[in-house]
Amino acid sequence: MQVEMKPVIRVEKTKNSKISQVDFSNLPFGKVYTDHMFICDYKDGQWQEPKVIPYQNISLDPSAKIFHYGQSVFEGMKAYKDKDGKVWLFRPLENQKRLNISSKRLAIPELPEEIFMEGLKELLKVDKNWIPQSEGSSLYIRPFVFASGNGFHASPADKYTFIIACSPSGSYFAGKVKVLIEQTYSRSANGGVGYAKAGGNYAGQFYPTQLAVDKGFQQVIWTDDTSHEYIEEAGAMNIFVRINDTLLTAPTSDRILDGVTRKSILDIANDMGIDVEVRKISVTELVEAAQNGSLKEMFGAGTAAVISPISGFGYQDKTFDIPELKNSYAEQFKKHITDIQYNRAQDKFGWRYEVK
């Protein structure tokens, strides 16, 4: 049996901390950055020395392949601090595994688990004081890897850079959102990279989303790439629908991201005895449920927002409102997940990971 060796991580601490300049009572999402970052390069066929260094700019040649061929994937995670000051992660190995699934699809070298996990833990230890403790706040963590090798030839790069950067943040969304069911544009296609967290997936969403915003909506519900008859995702999140007391969500595929929050909700719902169906959800079924009153809830699920309730949706120049429901599934799931994340409740699933 091969035993994985922990990598030796060199730590260079900043001489000028920025933490005293931060208003932790008024944190925007993802716009304030901690004092340090983790970095590790891949070249000559292997990952090099991993380091924690002061947060800083990076320098790239104009011919770096990330600029030309888009080899870039990322993850989204959070670190939480409980009332006793202990630091927790939520299912971090799921993010590590998915980063490699995304990397493989884009011909990026896979990152060893020990570099990802040990680098993440070392970074969090160094920047522990940046993790906020106020309700709803957390340290957002962005691991990403991109092609830093040079060349205009259309081929995979010979060098890559992996970075973990962190941002203390407040709540991602406030209140409910209205969404527009997309009938023209597609987020992804069969055989494509929709299941990977590739930067280009999100770039391709911005234009159709802006068209929806111009019509008075906050987000888009993406439909399948051929018929636009089945709903698949809500903006950058997985989508859930409650019809009567049954919880529905689309199955993962080439087009749909296998979200960590999504799979957590499914496990919690099954544990609660909620009737769950993972299947295709047609736009026709959704509209009919809204019209006959059986549509009780819709919500998006993802790391940043955890759960984002949907108050209504637009389709073919009509808007369908969803009445507010007391003790909704969305509220129950969000409380269940955040109680585990902040170490306020029993973790029967073993999802909580302490950073010591």
Any idea what the CATH number is for the domain that residue 272 is in? 3.20.10.10
User: What distances in angstroms separate CA 339 from CA 210, 296, 309, 343, one per listed residue?
Assistant: 34, 24, 18, 6
Q: What is the pLDDT of residues 102-116, one digit of tens each?
A: 999 999 999 999 999
**Number of domain units in the chain:** 2
Give the pLDDT confidence score for residue 173 in this predicted structure: 60
Residue 207, class by beta-carbon neighbours within 10 Å (0-12 exposed, 13-18 middle, 19+ buried)? exposed
**CATH number of the domain within which 163 lies:** 3.30.470.10
Counting as low any pLDDT under 70, the low residues of the chain are 1-4, 172-174
Q: For residues 36 and 109, state if they share a domain.
A: yes
Element housing 99 (H / E): helix 92-105
d(CA 100, CA 7): 18
User: What distances in angstroms separate CA 212 from CA 183, 220, 222, 305, one per listed residue?
Assistant: 11, 7, 12, 20
User: What distances in angstroms separate CA 173 from CA 135, 274, 300, 306, 349, one per listed residue?
Assistant: 14, 26, 11, 9, 27
Whether residue 179 contacts residue 160, with contact meaning beta carbons closer than 8 Å, is answered with no
Q: For residues 122 and 201, state if they share a domain.
A: no
Residue 1 domain-assigned?
A: no
Q: For residues 104 and 191, state if they share a domain.
A: no
d(CA 201, CA 76): 15
Give the pLDDT confidence score for residue 50 in this predicted structure: 98
Q: For residues 313 and 276, state if they share a domain.
A: yes
Q: Which residues contact 130 (CB under 8 A, 6 or more apart)?
A: 19, 34, 35, 139, 166, 168
- Pick the closest to residue 111 from 159, 42, 44 (CA basis): 42
| 15, two tokens | 């001489």
What's the domain range around 210? 177-341
- Pick the closest to residue 235 from 156, 280, 279, 178 (CA basis): 178
Give the pLDDT confidence score for residue 174 in this predicted structure: 60
Q: For residues 260 and 228, state if they share a domain.
A: yes
Domain end marker among 169, 203, 221: 169
Give the pLDDT confidence score for residue 1 in this predicted structure: 45
Q: For residues 25 and 125, state if they share a domain.
A: yes
Give the pLDDT confidence score for residue 140 in this predicted structure: 97
Q: For residues 118 and 207, state if they share a domain.
A: no
d(CA 166, CA 149): 24
Residue 344 DSSP one-character state: -
Q: What is the three-class DSSP state of 68?
A: helix
Residue 226 domain-assigned?
A: yes
Residue 332 domain-assigned?
A: yes
Q: For residues 20 and 52, state if they share a domain.
A: yes
Domain end marker among 169, 201, 231: 169
For residue 248, the Cα-to-chain-centroid distance in whole angstroms is 20
d(CA 176, CA 238): 16
Residue 44 domain-assigned?
A: yes
Residue 321 domain-assigned?
A: yes
Domain end marker among 137, 169, 201: 169
Residue 353 domain-assigned?
A: no
